[in-house]
């Protein structure tokens, strides 16, 4: 088994396990959950689904610095769809409810994390610019 295949399997398993954990917590009634600050629920949705989108990217790519538009698009579609599915599912769970606010928080987290990865990827690529006509790479000092 090559390194690339082992890496792919690892990130697929990690993404599936993370998705199952989200599903399990979505299946529990919210009885007794203490809110430390107003909007805590939305902040948690933002980060949980942002991380989900990041794991999707890791699963879909061979190298995180060589991402293509299609990988961002698929990570966006998969994570947003999973978030919507989870909200619909919660409608049927006692003491839980469907919330457009949660879907918005999920989507904003997903988009924000994907934009941050894109910015990091482009900064990294600019630092390692190839000299035209050669196989030499120049690294800028940080």
Over residues 27-55, the pLDDT tens digits come to 887 755 677 888 888 999 999 999 999 99
The Cα–Cα gap between 51 and 61 comes to: 16
Percent of the chain with pLDDT over 70: 80
pLDDT value for 65 = 58
Q: Is the pLDDT of residue 131 over 80?
A: no
Over residues 44-83, the pLDDT tens digits come to 999 999 999 999 998 988 766 567 888 899 999 999 999 9
Question: What one-character-per-residue DSSP string does 73-123 give?
Answer: HHHHHHHHHHHHHHHHHHTTSTT----HHHHHHHHHHHHHHHHHHHHHHHH
């Amino acid at each position: 088994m090559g390194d690339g295949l082992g890496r792919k399997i690892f990130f697929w398993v990690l993404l599936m396990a993370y998705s199952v954990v989200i599903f399990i917590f979505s299946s529990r009634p919210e009885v007794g959950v203490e809110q430390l600050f107003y909007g805590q629920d939305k902040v948690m949705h933002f980060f949980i689904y942002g991380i989900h989108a990041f794991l999707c990217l890791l699963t879909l790519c061979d190298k995180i610095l060589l991402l293509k538009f299609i990988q961002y698009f698929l990570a966006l579609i998969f994570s947003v769809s999973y978030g919507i599915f989870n909200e619909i599912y919660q409608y049927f769970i006692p003491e839980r409810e469907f919330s457009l606010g949660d879907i918005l928080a999920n989507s904003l987290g997903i988009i924000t994390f994907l934009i941050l990865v894109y910015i990091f990827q482009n900064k990294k690529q600019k630092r390692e610019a190839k000299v035209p006509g050669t196989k030499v790479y120049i690294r800028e000092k940080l």
